[in-house]
Chain A
């Protein structure tokens, strides 16, 4: 395995073909993975909330789906990637706890994060080529700079590569 780079909560990182970007224990947050298969540049953002415009304290751009994608793209372009090549993969957005009342916004945050990430990517014409979102369990994800594969590990729900 190449050089492993950890992406924390509300954080984003990029790498070239020699690196592996990883986020451990993703819950209701979303891991947004972008990859340029021609230049072999990869980027990952670990977002916590859907929309920076709804929050007063929005200085950390990596925290929100909308602003994190913009910053991630800028950093990948700076590394030599081209936006027209970008492919996206999404993972996370679980509902870890449920109180059975259905209407609680906070509890549906995983779902809202997933929708926001997809909408943001769609607005930039970046195709989401695969995703593993939702469910009620956590995920550890690894994005490989060499080929853009996304490896997903869970506790009791198996592993897969998307």
Chain B
């Protein structure tokens, strides 16, 4: 079997990757709904294959402030998960969790720690559904949070991809909370051998 590359993915591969995003984020949405006791809507996931240069643009520009919670994924597959919110959504989400107002200027230590914990729970449920689906043993590192320019935050997964390609593959899913419009995105960023393994485990070659 020749090795699969990001450029060589066909529509069937992309559909399967979308379904993974769907199931993973579906579980995460359920977890978030339980935590907030609110209804969470989820968009149809998008699989994006972008030039490295375009990565930050999907997040509203390189200088747009975002909160990224990043995890190493290891076990039978390797890669990363990024749970990403813009600053307004981060404040709304921490406000809901901590029961304080969301019109604060900045995120304090408590907010940051709450965001990390939300990211942890949601990414955990995302990954556990992926593990069940593929029958793989998949583990997640502790979370690491950065609140900074989108370009800087996304440079980390982009660099990881840049070892193998000038393209970046994301499975992106948006979660929304009712009127408050907390928008959060999940990026599942498997390394190149791993997305081949994921696809193969689901019977797609």
Q: Does residue A55 face the partner (Cβ distance < 8 Å to B)?
A: yes
A124-152 interface bits toward B, Cβ cutoff 8 Å, 1 = contact, 0 = none: 00000000000011111000000000000
| In-complex Cβ contact of B153 among A48, A49, A96, A139 (8 A) | A96
- Considering the complex, give the chain A residue whose CB is closest to the CB of B162: A48
| In-complex Cβ contact of B155 among A27, A57, A100 (8 A) | A27
Q: Does residue B126 face the partner (Cβ distance < 8 Å to A)?
A: no
* Inter-chain contact B70/A138, CB cutoff 8 Å: no
Interface stretch (choices B21-29, B58-66, B90-98, B177-185): B58-66
Which residues between 8 and 54 of chain A lie within 8 Å of chain B, taking CB atoms? 8-11, 24-29, 48-49
Q: B156 to chain A: closest CB distance in Å?
A: 5
- Classify the secondary structure of A's interface with B: loop
Q: Does residue A89 face the partner (Cβ distance < 8 Å to B)?
A: no
Chain A count of residues within 8 A CB distance of the other chain: 33
Which residues between 178 and 194 of chain B lie within 8 Å of chain A, taking CB atoms? none
Q: Does residue B152 face the partner (Cβ distance < 8 Å to A)?
A: yes
* Inter-chain contact A138/B165, CB cutoff 8 Å: no
In angstroms, Cα B202 to Cα A40, docked, is: 58
Task: Point out the residues of chain A lying under 8 angstroms from B70, CB to CB.
Answer: 96-97
* Inter-chain contact B149/A97, CB cutoff 8 Å: no
Q: A62 to chain B: closest CB distance in Å?
A: 10
- Classify the secondary structure of B's interface with A: mixed
- Considering the complex, give the chain B residue whose CB is closest to the CB of A106: B160
| In-complex Cβ contact of B63 among A25, A29, A48, A57 (8 A) | A25
* Inter-chain contact A27/B156, CB cutoff 8 Å: yes
Interface stretch (choices B9-17, B35-43, B128-136, B139-147): B139-147
In angstroms, Cα B54 to Cα A68, docked, is: 20
Q: Of B72, B150, B159, B163, which is in contact with the most chain A CB atoms at under 10 Å from its CB?
A: B159
Which residues between 147 and 172 of chain B lie within 8 Å of chain A, taking CB atoms? 147-156, 158-160, 162-166
Which residues between 86 and 115 of chain A lie within 8 Å of chain B, taking CB atoms? 94, 96-100, 104, 106, 109
* Inter-chain contact B160/A27, CB cutoff 8 Å: no
Q: Does residue B53 face the partner (Cβ distance < 8 Å to A)?
A: yes
Task: Point out the residues of chain A lying under 8 angstroms from B141, CB to CB.
Answer: 99
In angstroms, Cα B165 to Cα A48, docked, is: 12
The interface of chain B, by Cβ under 8 A from chain A, is 52-53, 55-56, 61-63, 65, 68, 70, 72, 141-142, 144-156, 158-160, 162-166
Across the A-B interface, the 8 shortest Cβ-Cβ residue pairs? A25-B151, A138-B152, A27-B155, A27-B152, A25-B62, A24-B62, A25-B149, A8-B53
The interface of chain A, by Cβ under 8 A from chain B, is 8-11, 24-29, 48-49, 55-57, 59-60, 63, 94, 96-100, 104, 106, 109, 136-140, 155
